[in-house]
Structure 1
Amino acid sequence: MGHGGNVIEELTVDHREVDALFARIEILPVGDSRRREVADELTMELVRHSVAEEMHLYPAVREHVEDGDSIADKELADHAAVEELLKELEGRPADDGRFDDLVARLRLAVGEHVRDEEGRLFPLLAAACTNEVLDVLGDRVRAAKKTAPTRPHPSAPDTPPAGRILAPGLGLVDRARDLLSGRGGH
């Protein structure tokens, strides 16, 4: 599967990529330093994905879906919990006693969130929006992921307009840190 298409197709591809990253971590031996490298890739993907959803998907859910405010609020709460786990995992070596527990908790939280989005939110959004709106949202999500942060920032705002204003700046700083450290270059 490649990226492109409407917002639902784009985010579903992201979900499958995240599943594949979790699988890559799990097949490596416990304590193997490559698990840390894959965890960094996973973190980068999850953060970019979450920021793009917060900037474009959830505002659209609020606008177009009946009871969209409560649905979006629940999804944002899921993101906050995942981001806290990512922050706790950040920089922790693969042979640290908490590493595997955090990865397992992260996989559970992300899995529940994905099931909810794909099973409930995406069908509601598809029913409420035209294909044109979904296509435009897909383009916006792809663009947002290019400038989004790559590291967890649990205290950063997750709703527009503050999130839209701060995300590109945080993304620039994160990508500079990644370049200098070699993080994500594997």
Structure 2
Amino acid sequence: MVAPVGLRGLATAKGLMDVAQEIKIDHDNIPVSYEEKLVANTLIREISIHGDAEEIYVYNDYQKLGLHDAAMHSKEDHAEVKKLIFRDEHIAASHEHHDDIMADSVNAFFAHGQEEETTRHPTLREKLSPEDNDKLARAFLKAREMVPTRPHPLAPQTDGTLQKAMGVYGHV
């Protein structure tokens, strides 16, 4: 198992965590993995964990904060990335276009992360109290330990109940 590259659980000056920073660390870890040419399995695993953890805990809070459209857009992005990495998981590494196919998936993840960091995270930070931000960051990190490590592209992008259940049986 490959450990995350970013600095996890980095607290602010007040000792409170920031959910957007924790998500950004995940976003930043994916390019590092890709640039270092780590195995496709690691990319698939990390993207799967990130997506389900964010869907289960963070996007539900988007809705509570009046960010329904942002939550739905993010869930759509995740559904597309999941379909791509599910495809990648079933293509042999010896396939002549394997690297190009993986690059498509990673680039879709990059695009999602960049959009989220520039458009949604600033709004999320504005709407959360420091204590609620800390609570959500911790929930996101805890979810990363409990969600499935493989993509489930046909799972509905709802409240995360299915992802939680799959995590019980699908955690590898």
| TM-score, normalised via structure 2 length | 0.86
Q: Does 1:111 align with 2:110?
A: yes
Of all paired residues, the percent bearing the same amino acid is 29
User: What is aligned with 2:81?
Assistant: 82
Name the Cα RMSD after superposition.
1.5
Q: Check whether the contact 1:49–1:145 (CA below 8 A) recurs between aligned residues.
A: yes
In 2, Cα distance between equivalents of 1:46 and 1:156: 15
Q: Which has the higher helix share?
A: 1
Q: Distance in 1 between matches of 2:163 and 2:95?
A: 30
Equivalence map 1:20-169=2 (5 Å): 20-25=32-37, 38-65=39-66, 68-160=67-159, 163-164=160-161, 166-169=162-165
Counterpart-to-counterpart distance in 1, 2:73 and 2:87: 22
| Distance in 2 between residues matched to 1:170 and 1:62, nearest whole Å | 23
| Displacement after TM superposition at 1:107 (Å) | 2.1
Q: SS where residue 36 of structure 2 aligns?
A: helix
> Partner residue of 1:171?
167
Deviations 1:24-67 (A, max 9, x none): 22xxxxxxxxx6xx2111111111111111111111112214xx
SS of alignment partner, residue 147 of structure 1 = coil
Cα separation, 1, equivalents of 2:169 and 2:89: 16
Deviation at 1:93, TM superposition (A): 2.2
* Shift, 1:123, TM fit: 0.3
Q: Unaligned 5+ residue runs, structure 2?
A: 1-5, 10-16
Which of the pair has more CA radius of gyration?
1
Q: Secondary structure at the match of 1:2?
A: coil
Query: Structure 1: how far apart are the matches of 2:99 and 2:43?
Result: 14
- Report the Cα offset of residue 156 of structure 1: 1.2
Give the SS at the match of 1:134.
Answer: helix
- CA drift of 1:70 comes to 1.2
How many equivalent residue pairs? Answer: 160
Which residue pairs with 1:31 in the alignment? none
Offset at residue 172 of structure 1 (A):
3.5
